Amino acid sequence: MQVNYITPAVTAFDSQGHVDMEANKKLYDHLINNGISGILILGSIGEFYAISTEEKKRLIQQAIAYIGERAAVYVGTGTTIFEECVDLTNYAVQEGASGVAVISPYYFTHSDEEMFDFYAKLAESTTGNILLYNFPARTGYQLSADTVLKLAKKYPNIIGIKDTVGEMGHTRELIQVVKKESDQIF
């Protein structure tokens, strides 16, 4: 399946604050019926931070089963606890996700070396495709082009980046630095 567009999807909740799967199915149908070939669930706009791990797993399983082959499904699996991130990543891959998007650890500022180590350890702990998720306005840290390049060169399961930035300068630098040496991410 060729994926031309991946859009992040909001997560619909019921009046008790739980995931409303029927409403989410309607949203997935709407996106697919309007040409979206890839859907990211549980990203920032999908309120991953406000959903329990148990409910995330239920949403992952049901969304992937419902969407089936109609679109690629990517899952945001970032958490503040590394072991939970690995568990959720492996669960999403086992359920059939096309890949995962993992936001950089947030709350504390990290060095390039720490970010490399985080994503390297994650890439070594799962067989699934990983999209790096750069969102400096929420994490306090920007993934550098050099770090992304080092990761892309070493880990074939790191396949892309979700670059959520306010200005195109960082994205332009990623393209110039990474694409020149690796087609893996672009």
For residue 70, give the nearest of 21, 35, 20, 26 by alpha carbon: 35
- Pairing assessment for the beta strands 158-163 and 130-134 based on DSSP bridges: parallel
Cα 178 to Cα 112, 139, 152, 159, distances in angstroms: 16, 22, 8, 12
- Residue 45: helix, strand or coil by DSSP? coil
Cα 125 to Cα 90, 117, 129, distances in angstroms: 8, 12, 11
CA distance 179 to 140: 25
Q: What is the distance, to the nearest Å, from the Cα of residue 172 to the centroid of all Cα atoms in its chain?
A: 20
Active-site residue list: 44, 107, 133, 162
